[in-house]
Structure formats: C-alpha cells, structure tokens
Amino acid sequence: MALAHVASLRSEDPFRKVGAAALDFDNRVIATAYNGLAPGFDPPPGFWDDRESRQKFMLHAEVNLCSLFRRGEVKLVASTTMPCTACMQTLCAYGVREIYYRDHYDCSEAPEIARLYGIHLEQVSDFPTCGM
C-alpha cells in the first residue's frame, strides 16, 4: 500500500490522486501507476480548473497499471482507492486474484463483482507508512 501511495503522488489531478501497485505470484513488484492523462498529452490552459468537464479524459490508475503487464502475470493489486466498477472489470479481465485498497469508493460495484468472480477484495487501513 505504501508503494501505491507513493505512485499516487505523481498524479497531475489536483482533486483526486490515486496510485496502484501490482505484484506477481512471487510477490515481486512488477508495476506501479497513477491516475492521469494519456502519455505525451499536454493539456490546454485551464484544463485542470473544471473537474467535471475533464473527468472523462482521466485515465484511472488501475487502467494505467494494467497497460504495464500481461494477463495472468499479476496476483495482487494494491490501490489507494477501491476500484470503480469499470476498473474492477478490467482487473478481472487481467486475471488479478487479490485486490487491496485503502480508501472506500461509494459509487463502485467492485464488492459485488469480486464476489461473483471469487476475487479477494479487502480494505486495508494498517500498513507501513514509510514516514508518510
């Protein structure tokens, strides 16, 4: 979770900073990611001022994370926020078996999706903070 938090610090989004980390079946960290814009996109002036109008352009941390590994390579994902419904579906498609998150997200069907697919989904509040 500490790695997911550190990844979240790289987010350009002034409203919500989300980070995620992926571990393989040997518990090695194979990727970290954060929410943000598509690589190489330079937003126009004022882009960050209106959260509602820019929200549709933001790539979620979990989507960015999945772009860094192949299906079946990851056992565990830690995210600073519970995955939204679409991100939970994506994590399922990539074969992730365990998902841990720090902050709850009310507008998500992640718990129901996890139950259906037999994925371990757990909120974690006690983790090393590394001086955070």
How would residue 5 be classed by pLDDT, with cut points 50, 70 and 90? very high
Structure tokens at 113: 């999706």
Residue 34 lies in a domain: yes
Close Cβ partners of 89 (under 8 Å, ≥ 6 residues apart): 113
Average pLDDT value for residue range 15-27: 96
Contact between 93 and 73 (Cβ < 8 Å)? no
Q: Number of structural domains, the chain? A: 1
Residue 55 lies in a domain: yes
Residue 129 lies in a domain: no
Residue 22 lies in a domain: yes
Q: Provide the domain limits for residue 27.
A: 2-123
What are 59's strand-pairing partners? 36
Contact between 104 and 79 (Cβ < 8 Å)? no
Q: What percent of the chain has pLDDT over 90?
A: 86
49-89 pLDDT, tens digit each: 999 999 999 999 999 999 999 999 999 999 999 999 999 99
119-132 pLDDT, tens digit each: 999 999 876 665 55
Q: What is the CATH number of the domain that holds 34?
A: 3.40.140.10
Residue 128 lies in a domain: no
**pTM of full prediction above 0.75:** yes
* C-alpha to C-alpha distance for 94 and 20, rounded to whole angstroms: 15
What angle (nearest 5°) sits at the alpha carbon of residue 33, between those of residues 19 and 21? Answer: 70
What pLDDT was estimated at residue 125? Answer: 86
